[in-house]
Amino acid sequence: MNPEKDFAPLTPNIVRALNDKLYEKRKVAALEIEKTQGST
């Protein structure tokens, strides 16, 4: 099983930002995910 495939729409940068301890970086990553989910 490929763990990266489970998060196919998420780039490594977004995953890294979601795990960041700074709230602002996590918020930006969440907004980026919402933006990409809306376009599908």
Stated pTM of the model: 0.59
DSSP of the chain, one letter per residue? Answer: --HHHHTTTS-HHHHHHHT-SSHHHHHHHHHHHHHHHHT-
**Separation between Cα atoms, residue 7 and residue 26, nearest integer Å:** 16
19 assigned to some structural domain: yes
Please check the confidence at residue 17 and state whether its pLDDT lies above 60. yes
30 assigned to some structural domain: yes
pLDDT attached to residue 18: 87
- Asked if residue 31 lies in contact with residue 23, where contact means CB atoms within 8 angstroms, the answer is no
Please check the confidence at residue 5 and state whether its pLDDT lies above 60. no
| Number of domains present in the structure of the chain | 1
**Separation between Cα atoms, residue 31 and residue 29, nearest integer Å:** 5
pLDDT attached to residue 1: 44
2 assigned to some structural domain: no
22 assigned to some structural domain: yes
Q: Pick the residue with more confidence: 19 or 39? A: 19
Residue 14's domain comprises 10-38
17 assigned to some structural domain: yes
15 assigned to some structural domain: yes
